[in-house]
Chains A and B, each alone.
Chain A
Amino acid sequence: MAFKLICFLFLLISPIHAETNPLQNKKEALQLELNLVQQAPATYYLIIDFTAKEVHLKADANLLRTCTILGSFGIKHTQTEELILNKLITPQTSEPSVISRRRPLPLDFSGRLTTGPKHRSRLYFAPTFLVQSADLPTSNHIPGIRLSNPDIKALASALVPSSKAILIPQMVPYGETH
């Protein structure tokens, strides 16, 4: 009898594990997006959708921009994950604050230059994930995606450190309805 009971329970539970992964990922992504919209209205966030090979810039569940993923690198994700933008990495170098100068240099534009987003940039998310320009070198040790230069410049303009992204692995058709 105990054996039958165990068999029954196994049969009852087994379909959940066998079938939930793709839809479960989609559900988790939608749940994360809903939480994001409720907790931080009017903030920009990304949906990185490997299935559709697209990145959506959104705010308040409204679509603002769609970027095509030109390529990916590093370890592939298998689960839906929430990422947080850690920093924007650009080619421009800023002078370290520890350096103190006695007088301004001949071409000292400190504080006068507009240091806006650049075409060749990287968006570094935590846990480690890079969204970067297509023509920048990549590493197999760090997962990430490559986007066109105009898309990177636009995303770098929209997002600030602590902006969030929802990563959907390559399994589920997502975002078809909204």
Chain B
Amino acid sequence: MNRFAIITAAGPDRPGIVAGITRVLYETGCNIEDTSMTLLRGEFATMLIVRLPRRMDAEAIEARFDRVRKALGLSLLVKPLSVKEARRVPRPGGHPYILSVYGSDRPGIVYRVTTLLASRGINITDMNTRVIGPTGRPIYVMVLEVDIPRKVRIETLKTALRKLQKAVKVDVTLHPVESAQL
């Protein structure tokens, strides 16, 4: 039995989206576990992991969102999760690093960088990109937090990034995220 679900929703930003979604959750007896929400330009997007009430499955919950979905212009999905899926936390296998990439906007920056990372088994744990600068000369900025497996040699990775830097004409910096246990 799936006792959890992940709700993903996005729509034009305005006050009341979170209240609208969580009202349905409260009324149906869903318990909110972890959530992530953010604003991207004028679009608001959210992911919520919820524990489902005893007598309702993901589909039944989704039906209860019909009204709020229409009222707020949201695209909203409720996907069931097993206990195992819901409780799964990314294994802290490697070392956290921040990779920043920036340069003149051109096709393929994200694709080339992320393909290089994927080929080495490097997982992206957080990523944001922005187009900044004047309209005529846009600059693409990409900041990734990645988990670098222990078996990956940092020097080898840096060499590969330097090659990519030349090929794609971007500037790349990789630095470890120091985390102090206090």
The finding on whether chains A and B are genuine partners in a shared complex, rather than unrelated, reads no
Using CB atoms and an 8 Å cutoff, list the residues of chain A in contact with chain B: none
Using CB atoms and an 8 Å cutoff, list the residues of chain B in contact with chain A: none
